[in-house]
Amino acid sequence: MSEFVSLSPSGLPEEFDVELYSEKPVISVEEIEDRIEIGYIFPGFTMGDNEQQIDDQTLPFKEVGISGAGFVSESGKPLLPSFGRFVQIPPGCDYKVSTRKSKPVKIEDILVTPAQEQATDQADEAGVFEYDTEAYGEDALYPADVVQIGEPQNLDDYKVLAIHVRPLQYSPGKRQIVGYSNIKVTIKLTAKEVDEEEMEEFPLMDPSVNREGYGNLVLNPRRRIAERIPVNRIPGPIVIKPRGPEFLIIYDDKLKGAAQLLADWKKRKGLITETVSIATVGNSVAKIKKYIRVRRRFFLSRLRYVLLLGDVAAIASEERAGNTTDHYYFTKKDPAHASDCVLPSVSGGRIPVSSLDDANAVVKQIIDYERTPPCDPDYYRRMTFAAYFQDDGPQDGRANRAYMKTMEGIREHMTSIGFAVERVYVSNNPNPQQYKDGTAVPAEVRNAIVDGDDATDMLISETSEGQLVVGHRDHGGETGWVHPSFRKEHLQSILSPYPSIFYSINCRTGRFDYNPSDSFAEDIMELKGGAPSLVAPTEYSGTWRNDSLIKALFDAMWPGIIAGFPGTNASYAIKHNRLGDILNYAKSYLLVAHGTNAGVKGHFEMYHVVGDPTLQLWAEEPAPIRLRGSIRRNNLNIHVRPVPAEAVVTIWYRGKLVKRAALTSARMGIPVSDLRLTPSRMPALLRYIEVCVSAPGHRYTQTRVKL
């Protein structure tokens, strides 16, 4: 059982309901002249039994936590809550941080459970209980600092600091928790000279070019902070007309036809797209990085997405400590130190195919997913979650991993907003009683657990039916999932016209450098009725961080899974639901949930979009758009109902794009002379232009208009 321990806070708002919010922190943020003041109120924390057998003794560990917070987590050392979020500061300034905290509250005779940082999702790994006896003999308070501030980062063109507030410190030798209910952080800002490097890293851009989202990760998410706190010496925001493509496809020469096919489709959807051969870029890690980073500089800032079309034999991938990664192709710089976590500046992905036939097949699936989504309304409510209840010996009915609890937490949110989520759960204990955190496994969850063969059959059946999203938490490998078993050979039984997007959060299922055959993710990507693109790791991944990652993947589209808090908290879905942006959001969340460390850095490097980073996932059934076009008095007249937000119209003649424009009204008139059509020798009956309209959350539509 878990109990609530109060920290006796002061200053709680009158509307704060302890029974409703329990230990959730209350946050306030004020931007005042030349400083930002952040107030944290921590009502308390939860504490639950986590008894462990070590050698010949039983130790009465207690697991402590705060809802909505992450953790201070070092292998074998006390696991303590840490509330992390990003705070936006203006470009062109220096900063100094000061901290005040309330009088401490002391809780005696508590043995805090140690962090299990080394646990991975490697196939059937049981792991060894991590317990640093030397650390547990020390009297010094851990962690040493109540507030930890990270270096400035570019987060979706915000200049942000990652701030972690640790309201609990612990003296292992004394078995004493020291808690603080009220903590105030002040960021004092001063002007500085702005150099070219600062301008490139943190541009003051027109906010219309930015994506949205991140409101649940940034405490002060409104744009244009430099106007509210004008401490920099730049005279107002610099608005530069964007140039270059939004989407860059770097392709293997023999896959040029597939690259052009995908580029033409993206242009029809209104996404400014460019293709370039790897022969032009130069096929080395250094040359690929340089090419993308130069194209991403602020004066070419329209670039937001990069696709590598080709396998690692044709387009090099980077090797770091024996691991394969494309991550640093999509960042502005490499890490300066071993544990530095560098956020992406673009959303990237790879379609790791070697033949033109395979490339065309994948591209066709991507186009079909976006152009002709299913007409079945039930499809847009269906999801399937697969997970494992792992109870390592001696089996006591309590899980040693949080796989099932994690998926149940996501499922609870998804069903609350109207989705039908099928459970495909298995267990190595026929009598599961408690999740890893000590809370009881509900009867409906126990009743949903099936044996291994039935679970595999269910996954085949559900995927064949078509699922909006299929999520998995457990062990994995290059050939597939371990529990429930869902492997490459099972994919051959899936025959479906409906696609399923996979979040394969485990180990190595996305290893696109795997030899002598394709990985599980590659087979799914090429499977008819499978996932035209998906998220999966190339290497052995940490269990603890994987649970956070999958929560954030769902939270990016359906906010509310990452725990909110009373006060300034706001949640916004990622704009356009593009898969690369969703993964970048999830990576960003790892920094606030786990801080900057080698484990998070490894996750940045190993998780990839296997497929198209611009793929727009369907969050609900797309709405239709009615489109008519005609030419009268040398004017192209376009009629659209309804007029969706952010709709784009593109006009094509003889297979070439001649006009792209935002659609802002139900009627649009364009002089034909403005289209600059080249003369055609075709008969008059065969001369026409194509008008295409695309908008987020709506079905793509097009019509032909005779000239």
Q: Which pLDDT score, from 0 to 100, does residue 435 have? A: 94
Say what the pLDDT of residue 168 is.
Answer: 98
Does residue 233 belong to any structural domain of this protein? no
Last residue of a domain, one of 610, 635, 650: 610
- The CATH number that applies at residue 676 is 2.60.40.10
Burial zone of 678 (CB within 10 Å; 0-12 exposed, 13-18 middle, 19+ buried): exposed
What is the C-alpha R_g of the chain? 26
Query: Which stretch of 145-149, 276-280, 514-518, 606-610 has the lowest confidence by average pLDDT?
Result: 514-518
87 pLDDT above the threshold of 80 = yes
What are the residues whose beta carbons fall under 8 Å from the beta carbon of 172, sequence distance 6 or more? 78, 112, 135, 136, 137, 138, 139, 142
Least confident of 83-92, 95-104, 282-291, 456-465: 83-92
Same domain, 529 and 639: no
8 Å CB contact between 186 and 26: no
- In 3D space, the residue among 577, 493, 503, 571 whose CA is nearest the CA of residue 541 turns out to be 503
Q: Does a structural domain hold residue 27?
A: yes
Q: What's the per-residue H, E or C state across 587-650?
A: HHHHHHHHCCCHHHHHHHHHEEEECCCCCECCCCCCECCEEEEEEECCEEEEEEECCCCCCEEE
In this prediction, residue 325 carries a pLDDT of 97
Percent of the chain with pLDDT over 90: 70
Question: 511: left (phi > 0), else alpha (psi -120 to 50), else beta?
Answer: beta
- Least confident piece of the model among 207-211, 249-253, 295-299: 207-211
238 occurs within a structural domain: no
Phi-psi region of 130 (alpha: psi -120 to 50; beta: other; left: phi over 0): beta
Residue 300 confidence (pLDDT): 57
208, pLDDT greater than 60: no
Q: Please report the sign of the dihedral spanned by the C-alpha atoms of residue 278, residue 283, residue 287, residue 292.
A: positive
Same domain? For 550 and 657 the reply is no
Predicted pLDDT of residue 678: 77
pTM: 0.94
In a 13 Å sphere around the CA of 424, the CA atoms on its Cβ side amount to 27
Task: Please give the tally of structural domains in the chain.
Answer: 3
Residues 661, 600: one domain? no
Helices 579-594, 543-555: inter-axial angle, 10-degree rounding:
130
Between strands 501-505 and 486-487, the pairing is unpaired
Note whether 6 and 111 are same-domain residues: yes
Q: Is the domain of 603 the same as that of 643? A: no
Q: Beta strands 80-88 and 158-165: pairing type?
A: antiparallel
In a domain, 138, yes or no: yes
Whole-number Å distance between alpha carbons of 657 and 334: 37
Indicate the pLDDT class of residue 228, thresholds 50, 70 and 90.
Answer: confident
16 lies in the same domain as 139: yes
CATH number of the domain residue 168 falls in? 2.60.40.3800
Say how many C-beta atoms besides its own lie within 10 A of residue 28's C-beta. Answer: 16
Domain containing 140 equals 2-228
Q: Are residues 192 and 62 in the same domain?
A: yes
pLDDT at residue number 474: 96
Listed residues 201, 228, 255: the one ending a domain: 228
- 566 with 700, same domain? no
Decide which of 228, 248, 283 is a domain's last residue: 228
Give the helix ranges, DSSP H, for 229-305. 256-268, 278-281, 285-296
Task: Give domain status of residue 541, yes or no.
Answer: yes
CATH code of 466's domain = 3.40.50.1460
Whether residue 640 is found in the same domain as residue 588: no
Residues 606 and 630 in one domain: no
If asked whether residues 547 and 657 sit together in one domain, one would say no
By residue count, the chain amounts to: 707
Model confidence band, residue 674 (pLDDT cutoffs 50, 70, 90) = confident
Strand partners, 503: 471, 535
| Domain-embedded: residue 358 | no
| pLDDT at residue 685 is higher than 60 | no
Predicted local distance difference test score (pLDDT) of residue 570: 66
* pLDDT tens-place string over residues 494-552: 888 899 999 999 999 999 998 778 999 999 998 877 778 999 999 999 999 999 999 99
Mean pLDDT of the chain: 90
Whether 166 and 17 map to the same domain: the answer is yes
Write out pLDDT tens, residues 630-645. Answer: 998 888 999 999 999 9
Q: What is the pLDDT of residues 346-370, one digit of tens each?
A: 999 999 999 999 999 999 999 999 9
Residue 462 is assigned to a structural domain of this protein: yes
> How far, in Å, CA of 220 to CA of 642, rounded?
34
Distance CA 600, CA 606 (A): 10
pLDDT digits (tens, 9 = 90+) for 40-66: 999 999 998 888 888 888 999 999 999
In sequence order, the 6+-apart residues with CB closer than 8 A to the CB of 447 are none
| Nearest partner of 80 among 119, 53, 107, 52, judged by Cα | 107
Residue 628 is predicted with a pLDDT of 95
Element (H, E) at 548: helix 543-555
496: exposed, middle or buried (C-beta count within 10 Å: 0-12, 13-18, 19+)? middle
Does 306 map to a domain?
no
The closest alpha carbon to 584, from 305, 303, 344, 349, belongs to 344
Could you tell me if 503 and 550 are in contact, meaning their C-beta atoms sit under 8 angstroms apart? yes
Strand 688-694's sheet: what is its strand order?
656-662, 648-653, 688-694, 701-706
